[in-house]
Amino acid sequence: MVEASRHPRPAEAKQYPPGSVRTYAGLMGGIVLDSGRSNGATTLGLLLDDLRARYTLGYRPSQDRPENSFCHIQLTLTPEAQQREGNAIVETRAG
């Protein structure tokens, strides 16, 4: 089940119809970069920089839960990490 807040707003729905790459990227925690012939190398460089700065975290509930049940978690940086990293961006997906 998809959270209601993740559905595109009406204006976005017209711009990006159901089934668009932007809809799926948003739901799965991905990004979409627009590129053309004139800025392809720059866009690729930005994508590579973004991928180099990513971390992947795993989560396993401390208690046994029924199969396919949804666990809500929240990811935040400690004050020390915020001070050390500066203007860090934390992007997560719903599940």
Token pair, residue 14, equals: 């017209």
Please tell me the total count of domains within the chain: 1
Residue 72 lies in a domain: yes
- Give per-residue burial for 2-25: e unless 16+ CB within 10 Å, then b: eeeeeebeeeeeeebeeeeeebee
Residue 90 lies in a domain: no
User: 11-36 pLDDT, tens per residue?
Assistant: 655 666 677 888 888 777 777 888 77
Counting beta carbons within 10 angstroms of the beta carbon of residue 27, is it exposed (0 to 12), middle (13 to 18) or buried (19 or more)? middle
In the prediction, which pLDDT does 80 show?
93
Q: What one-character DSSP code corresponds to residue 4?
A: G
For 79, the domain range is: 4-85
CA atoms within 13 A on the CB side of 94: 13
pTM of the model: 0.44
Name residues of the chain where pLDDT drops below 70. 1-17, 94-95
